[in-house]
């Protein structure tokens, strides 16, 4: 598969046909504090390595950066290399949440020019036996590549009415009805609600492409839109961005600090009402 192109999302049939050509990555993580590593140890796809979101996919957290800022490129490179993921590997990542967490790794890899995809349906899409013994791979060569500026957005970009800004959190958090972890409730004024989980059907797989395009169109997203996606800390927003790419709506930009950074600054406003439909 060296040099080939991989779509942002693949299904279980694709994985079965290419199993020997990819590195499987288990990226389970839970907002409620449960251990992703423990879940991996209880049963994971055969040959999958465990990718610790907090250790490998996150930089130093703080009010000025958010809960899951992007790591320094050298830190990301070290984490991947130690897991045995190299520059030339093709990675298929999964979780048990429809890809809404594993999307973070896939987005990071694709943004820096690597081949990576989400497994549609995640763990539940696999109909074979699971393994409980941790998988280890020999250390690999993974280059430190700067995060491309054209794929990133700032708080100022998220406040710019010229951008279509979408919030990937559940609507209850978007509307400020609950806030389990961040300093304040609500959303960035002008942002539209586009919960990552709503792109999934009842089985945890992505909805049909036509339905997904209609959903994005309702949020004001078309191929010409300048899109900024955020969530609580820049994790599930990656799912919105990958699904956009999956349905042919372009790449969009990630606001890594997301609501955890925005809400930590009392000078920034917070909205709690649904935004009017975007007119384009």
Residues designated catalytic: 231
Residues in Cβ contact with 21 at an 8 Å cutoff, skipping those fewer than 6 apart: 1, 90
CA nearest neighbour of 194 among 165, 153, 223: 165
Among all chains, which residue has been given the structure tokens 């993580």?
29
Report residue 215 as tokens.
């959903």
- Helix or strand or coil: residue 164? strand
Residues in Cβ contact with 166 at an 8 Å cutoff, skipping those fewer than 6 apart: 191, 192, 193, 194, 219, 221, 227, 228, 229, 230, 237, 240
Buried/exposed 17-42: b ≥16 CB within 10 Å, e otherwise: ebeeebbbbbbbbeeeeeebeebbee
Residues in Cβ contact with 95 at an 8 Å cutoff, skipping those fewer than 6 apart: 26, 27, 28, 29, 101, 102, 122, 123
Whole-angstrom Cα distance, residue 78 to residue 55? Answer: 11
Whole-angstrom Cα distance, residue 147 to residue 116? Answer: 16
């Amino acid at each position: 598969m060296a040099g080939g192109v991989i779509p942002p999302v693949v299904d279980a049939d694709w994985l079965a046909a290419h199993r020997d050509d990819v590195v499987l990555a288990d990226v389970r993580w839970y907002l409620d504090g449960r251990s992703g590593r423990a879940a991996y140890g209880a049963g994971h796809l055969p040959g999958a390595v465990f990718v610790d979101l907090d250790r490998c996919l996150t930089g130093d957290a703080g009010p000025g950066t958010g809960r899951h800022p992007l790591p320094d490129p050298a830190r990301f490179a070290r984490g991947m290399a130690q897991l045995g993921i190299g520059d030339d590997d093709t990675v298929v990542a999964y979780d048990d949440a429809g890809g809404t967490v594993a999307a973070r790794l896939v987005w990071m890899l694709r943004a820096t020019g690597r081949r990576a995809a989400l497994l549609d349906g995640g763990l539940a899409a696999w109909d074979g036996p699971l393994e409980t013994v941790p998988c280890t791979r020999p250390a690999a060569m993974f280059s430190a590549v700067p995060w491309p500026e054209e794929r990133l957005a700032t708080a100022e970009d998220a406040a710019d009415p010229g951008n279509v800004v979408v919030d990937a959190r559940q609507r209850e958090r978007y509307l400020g009805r609950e806030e389990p972890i961040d300093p304040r409730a609500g959303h960035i004024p002008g942002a539209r609600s586009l919960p990552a989980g709503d792109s999934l059907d009842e089985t945890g797989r992505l909805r049909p492409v036509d339905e997904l395009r209609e959903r994005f169109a309702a949020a004001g997203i078309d191929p010409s839109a300048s899109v900024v996606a955020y969530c609580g800390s820049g994790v599930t927003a990656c799912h919105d961005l990958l699904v956009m790419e999956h349905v042919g709506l372009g790449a969009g930009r990630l606001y890594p600090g997301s609501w955890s950074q925005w809400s930590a600054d009392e000078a920034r406003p917070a909205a709690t009402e649904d935004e009017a439909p975007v007119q384009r």
